[in-house]
Amino acid sequence: MLLRDILYGVEIQSLTGTTDKVVDELVFDSRKAVKGTAFIAIVGTVADGHNFIPQAVAAGAEVVLCTTTPAAVAPHVTYVTVKDTSYALGLMAANFYSNHPASRSQRGLAPVVPALQR
């Protein structure tokens, strides 16, 4: 799925790179990053995912979602800066797993009215 479609509804603070990249998977564990993945840097109670951005990029991540753009950026990577990566991940996951409004069909929808009992 294209990054621009995955980002539908996400409030982007800044963007470095292109949204015309194909993303095969969303990951927030840098050890699971490979070519075609988007790495989401989540701030946790024990670790800050922003500290693992270099490892994710080295492993092949082509998209990074973060709250602050790293000082050193890779030219082939798209960096998307948002206010809250956890919230953005929820929206992105909904879009990625076919919840994108453009992918919903309106055919066949009708109100269901229960039969009145007398």
| Per-residue pLDDT reduced to its tens digit, 7-35 | 999 999 999 999 999 999 999 999 999 99
Arch. (CATH architecture) of 3-97: 3-Layer(aba) Sandwich (3.40)
Please determine, for residue 41, whether its predicted confidence score (pLDDT) is greater than 70.
yes
| Per-residue pLDDT reduced to its tens digit, 47-104 | 999 999 999 999 999 999 999 999 999 999 999 999 999 999 999 999 998 755 555 5
How many other CB atoms are found less than 10 A from the CB of residue 6? 24
- Which residues face 63 on adjacent strands? 38, 78
